[in-house]
Amino acid sequence: MDVMYILTLFAIGLIGSFVSGMLGIGGAIVKYPLLLYVPSIFGFTAFTAHEVSGISALDVLFVSIVGVLAFRNGGFLNKKLITIMGTTVLFGTLIGSFGSGQLSEETVNIVYGILALLAAIMMFIPKKKVDNIPLEEVEFNAPIAATLAFIVGIGSGIVGAGGGFLLIPIMLLILRIPTRMTIATSLAVTFISSIAGSFGKIATGQIDYVPALIVLVAGLIAAPIGARVSKKMNTKLLQRLLAVLILLTAIKVWMDIL
C-alpha cells in the first residue's frame, strides 16, 4: 500500500477525531466529506458513498467510546437521557444501516446532505440560557427525546454516522440540555447508535477494512486529546465552531449533488 495513501487516511482520522472529541460528535460529519473527496485530490481512487459510510460507521464506534471515557467524571453524562435516546436510536440505526445497502450512491449522499443541512439550521438558532441550568436540575421531555432519536437513527444508519451532529442541536435547542452535558451525553448515545450502524454495515458488506483500520488508529489517538481541549473551551465558542463546521459541510455536499 502506498505510504502517501496511508498518511492521507491517517490525517483524515486525526482531524476528524480531534474535532469529534472536542465537539461531542462521532466524527462522521467531518470524516464523511473528507473520505469522499480528499483521496481523489491526491490522485488515489475515490471511495464510493457506501464505502465511506461503512468506514465511518466502524470508526465512530471506537472513537465515540474513547470520548465517553474522557467525560466519565464530572457529572456531564445524563444517564436517563442516554437510556431513553440510546434505546430508540439503536432501533432506528439498525433499520437505516440495513436499508442503506439497497440505496444508490447518490441517495446516500442526498440523505447525508439533508441531515447536515438540518443540523446547520438548528445550530444557528439561538439557544436561550441553557448553560444557566444546574446539571442536577436538568429535565427534558422523554417522548420527544425518544422519537427524535429514532428518526436520527434511521438517517445516521444510512450514512454510517452515529448521529451526534444532529443529536447535539436537538439536545441544545429542543430538549434544552446544557452544552457540556450535551457534548458528553451525545457521545454516549452516538456510541450506542454506532453499535447498530457497524453491525448493519458489516452484515451488508459495506466496509473496506484496511482503510477503516488506518482511520481508526488515528482516531483513537486524537479523540481523547480533543475531549481534553473541550473541557477548557468556552461553551458558546464550541457551539459556534460546530455550527460553522456543519454548515460548510452541508454546502459542499449540496454543491456536488446539484
* Residue 63 confidence (pLDDT) above 80: no
When mean pLDDT is compared across 76-90, 97-111, 128-142, the lowest value belongs to 128-142
Q: Are 251 and 94 in contact (CB under 8 A)?
A: no
Report pLDDT digits (tens) over 177-224. Answer: 888 888 888 888 988 988 888 888 888 888 889 999 999 899 888 878
Report pLDDT digits (tens) over 64-101. Answer: 787 778 777 777 889 999 999 999 999 999 999 888 88
SS3 state of residue 120: helix
When mean pLDDT is compared across 54-58, 68-72, 77-81, 156-160, the lowest value belongs to 68-72
The string over 104-140, giving b where at least 16 C-beta atoms fall within 10 Å of a residue's C-beta and e elsewhere, is eeeebbbbbbbbbbbbbebbeeebeebeeeeeeebeb
Largest CA distance in the chain: 54
Segment 107-118 shows an average pLDDT of 84
